[in-house]
Structure 1
Amino acid sequence: MRAPEFPRPPEYVRSDPSMWEAIFADPSIPLDRALTKQIIDDQRRLSRRFLYPIARVLSRLLIGIVMVIKRVVPRRWMSLGTMDRLCIWFLRRFVSPDAVELLIRHFVVETNLVNFIIHNTPAEMEPVTLRPTSLRELGDNAVVEHDVNVYDVLIALEHVRLERPEVINFGDLGIPPLDAERRLPRLLKLDIQTALCLMNIPFAMALTLEEFRRAVHSMRFDDSFMEILALITGDDTFKHWKMGGLSLWMDSNVDVPQQVYRHALVCEYAHAHLLKLAQGEYPRYTEVEFD
């Protein structure tokens, strides 16, 4: 029996749309258009297409081996200072300046979210001060500190009644100028996801098992943050970016670089929406031509 023949659409409905152009044009993305373009350009790097799949598998394999051995030899294999210096050297020589800037920016954005919660709740906690503006400032245990800040603010809310404040404090949401050391020549210009896969290896080696587990689990609190932000602002938009990552679900056997990347995007979305609530519109400051 011959397969049925369906009428072919007329020529005028045919199209050859660009995935990247559609993403860039997506009106639901609340980010500044220049930032959206920067993220898209990073995703379009050759390293993201050809090296990331290999780095992702290699990273998970090596991390698994490290975790197994650390159950027998539960100690640091390198100091946190050595890890910082190694990662900064790697970022300076092998990672694109745009990716480095996105990484530095994430620390500032997450600090802004933490401080927004502190300013708008009765949490007995001083605002956090982790706001690196340069690649050099990613040292001094910044990676560990930014995870700890998430735990500290949640613990500070333990005996606090959360409710929408009469007046919402939208201060401290600014992003200072960031120095990704663009003047330095790079041997490679890796995308941020490939870079995260490779940097996760010394990260796992430097942290104890419990510290690594704590760092991985901190990303499960993204949903908690979205709930808190929705309650403070009275805006359920934040809940749309939840993934059902229950904080009571303890599981560190995840694709850490992939989770870190999604975590950074969720923070950017939430931060942009807070700016919209403060200013009345999404912060699309810069008009950008998409190529």
Structure 2
Amino acid sequence: MPEFVRSDPSMWEAIHADPSVPLDRAVVRQIINDQRRLSRRWLYPVARVLSRVVVAVVSVIKRVLPFRWMPLRVMDALCVWFLRHFVSPSAVDLLIRHFVVETNLVNFIIRNTPVDMEPVTLRPTALSGLGDQAVVEHDINVYDVLIALDKVRVERREALDFTQLDIPRPDAERHVRRVIRLDIQTALCFMNIPFSMALTVEEYRRAVHSMRFDDSFLEILTSVTGDDTFRAWKVGALSLWMDSNVDVPQMVYRHALVCEYAHAHLVKLAGGEYPRDTAATFD
């Protein structure tokens, strides 16, 4: 009997072709290329364990020595230097893009609820813009808008304001020669270490917990737009589940994807179709 010949499909091609993914195919290609880097396969498993161990030790010691081990400006400078010389430009593109995407989501909620709060302004376009406490600010923006919403009624709005859903093309400083081109997940593992050192125990806990509000934001977007699609991307991250002993880099990566999905759907609601003309440069 002749052997049954099966096809040999590529997982990566299937992911890229998946019609249920709302992201622009150029962005999907950037994400896939980043996931296929050698550092993601060989270095990430080690960096992931190392990061968790070091951060756990830092957290324990900080309960005995509860002061800031590193000024925030030093943390910013160190992380920007690391991104500039050791992380692939495409990964940096995705990181810069995330700050803009999350700001757009926060501002959409501000503009479409009666909340007494001005739109936030954190929309970096260049690698240098990730300094000046941008990481801390983008976490605080989440808390500020949620606390402000406590005083208003969140309900469906008939005429939605889709102002400022654009994403400027990021400048990852591609002209700078990289010593190594790490993928974004491995880079997050290493950057999590100075982050835990620079923040106090409570600040670090607050930053980690901010990602548990992803489901809350998706529910708010559902209420405001009347579109249940946002609920499909919930991951069961209950805001009342207060546990900071988690895989932070993995949570950050998932958080970024959830934000991308939600933002892409807002673009579709605004213009009738998912984004398809994103300018992207590939390594």
* Correspondence for 2:208 among 216, 220, 243: 216
CA deviation profile, 1:100-142 (whole Å, cap 9, x unmatched): 0100110000000000000000010000000111011111100
Extract unaligned runs of 5+ from structure 2: none
Q: TM-score, normalised by structure 1?
A: 0.94
Who is 1:152 aligned against?
144
* Pair 1:39-2:31 in alignment: yes
Runs of 4+ in structure 1 over 6 Å off: none
Who is 2:249 aligned against?
257
* Pair 1:173-2:161 in alignment: no
| 3-state SS in 2 of match to 1:215 | helix
Within a 5 Å distance, the mapping from 1:234-273 to structure 2 comes to: 234-273=226-265
Who is 1:140 aligned against?
132
CA deviation profile, 1:1-59 (whole Å, cap 9, x unmatched): xxxxxx99733xx1111000000010110000000000000000000000000000000
Aligned AA for 1:129? T
The structure that has the greater radius of gyration is 1
Q: CA deviation at 1:177?
A: 2.0
Aligned partners of 1:166, 1:40: CA distance in 2, in Å? 37
Aligned AA for 1:71? R
C-alpha contact (below 8 Å) 2:209/2:242 kept by paired residues: yes
* Correspondence for 1:121 among 110, 113, 123: 113
C-alpha contact (below 8 Å) 2:88/2:178 kept by paired residues: yes
Q: TM-score, normalised by structure 2?
A: 0.97
Pairwise CA RMSD: 1.4
Aligned AA for 1:233? T
C-alpha contact (below 8 Å) 1:33/1:287 kept by paired residues: no
Aligned partners of 1:31, 1:87: CA distance in 2, in Å? 27
| 3-state SS in 2 of match to 1:51 | helix
Within a 5 Å distance, the mapping from 1:167-206 to structure 2 comes to: 167-206=159-198
* Pair 1:105-2:104 in alignment: no
The 3 A distance-change label for structure 1 pair 286 and 175 is closer
* Pair 1:10-2:9 in alignment: no
Who is 1:4 aligned against?
none
Who is 2:80 aligned against?
88
* Pair 1:72-2:72 in alignment: no
